[in-house]
Amino acid sequence: MKAGQLTDRMGLFSVAYLEAVSAAAGVGIASMTPDINGVDARLESKDDGANPGFALNIQLKSSMTSPARDGSRRRRFVKGFAKPS
């Protein structure tokens, strides 16, 4: 896979992840304009009388780590977070 194809795929993964999280939270995506260095999406919730509405600008990011060199499926964890059991 070429480098450009990989970064495109990573960007699409970020968009899909945001769509899934916003759908689960019941929040609408007001706009989606992925680019390199700016606001990629805007989430909005309407004021329903009981709860004030909000707007949130988001810049999407995606990264990856290389597989372990020995072929194992070792996972890398962020310091300070417990490993799942």
Alpha-carbon gap, residue 41 to 61, rounded angstroms: 12
pTM tops 0.75, yes or no: no
So what's the pLDDT on residue 64?
A: 75
So what's the pLDDT on residue 84?
A: 58
So what's the pLDDT on residue 20?
A: 92
Which residues of the chain fall short of a pLDDT of 50? none
So what's the pLDDT on residue 38?
A: 84
With left for phi above 0 and alpha for psi between -120 and 50, is residue 26 left, alpha or beta?
left
Helix residue ranges per DSSP H, the chain: 3-25
C-alpha angle 5-7-13 in degrees, rounded to nearest 5 = 105
